[in-house]
Structure 1
Amino acid sequence: MTAITRLGVILTDRGSKYAVSGAPVQSRADVDAVLRDLKSDKSYAKATHNTWAAVLPTGALKADDGESGAGMVILRMLDRAGLEGHVVIVTRWYGGKKLGGDRFRRVQDATRAYLDYIGTRL
């Protein structure tokens, strides 16, 4: 399996911390393996949300992991960037204050940081 790129905690907002990770994938089984690998780190396993999306040859997949609508935010950004065969995971550790609509901006910020990072590596 391909190694996961973990950018770690890249931003905080009112106590919530956001990290972003990702890896090349070609199937749902690959996505599941990447998620298992990520969650083998206790910090990520205990996170409030590990939201993700991927565009695979068989179609798009996403999961909100309790952060309603966040998977679609990641998926839209992957579509716009034309990034296929890659899973992007945005991890949130809840900080005690609700962010309302700002939570989607933080998911966008984290996804953008990852896209920028891999764009310099492609």
Structure 2
Amino acid sequence: MAVLDTLMSNSKIARATHRIYAYRTYVTKNGKNLPLNDCADDGETGAGIKLQHLLQIMKIDNVMLVVTRWYGGVHLGADRFRHIQNKARQAITESGFWK
């Protein structure tokens, strides 16, 4: 949540209509690495879990992925999920987390 709070200090991100996120990491408890992951849609029902799945299939760990979306007056329907996924994949690739 500290990461999201920091991102929200950016006025452009704070003004976005939707802030969709997912993360995957691990915590050590009793000598075992346990998965810790979560996601949120922020009104884009199902988008967070799609980002979570993307991190899982790309085997990206210790990363929080945040995609912001602004509503521009045009209903995109199901195409919005394709756009969200494409931007998420682009961010992962360009940041060097996946080769």
Q: Does 2:61 align with 1:102?
A: no
Q: Match of 2:14?
A: 45
> Per-residue displacement from partner, 1:2-38 (whole Å, max 9, x unpaired)?
xxxxxxxxxxxxxxxxxxxxxxxxxxxxxx1111111
Q: Which amino acid aligns with 2:51?
A: I
1:9-88 correspondence runs (5 A): 32-57=1-26, 58-88=35-65
Q: CA deviation at 1:121?
A: 8.2
1:119 pairs with one of 92, 96, 99: 96
Identity across the alignment (%): 38
How high is the TM-score relative to the length of structure 1?
A: 0.69
Partner of 2:16, secondary structure, is coil
Q: Structure 1 stretches (4+) deviating beyond 6 angstroms? A: none
Call closer, same or farther: CA 1:63–1:41 in 2, change over 3 Å: same
How high is the TM-score relative to the length of structure 2?
A: 0.84
Q: Structure 1: where are the runs of 5+ without partners? A: 1-31
The structure that has the greater radius of gyration is 2
Q: Match of 2:30?
A: none
Q: Which amino acid aligns with 1:86?
A: V
- Which is bigger in relative contact order (C-alpha 8 A, separation at least 6)? 1
Counterparts of 2:91 and 2:10 in 1: how far apart (Å)?
Answer: 19
Q: Give the number of aligned pairs.
A: 91
Q: Match of 1:24?
A: none
Counterparts of 2:46 and 2:3 in 1: how far apart (Å)?
Answer: 21
Q: Which amino acid aligns with 1:97?
A: V
Q: CA deviation at 1:120?
A: 6.7
RMSD: 1.6
Q: Match of 2:68?
A: 91
Q: Structure 2: where are the runs of 5+ without partners? A: 27-34
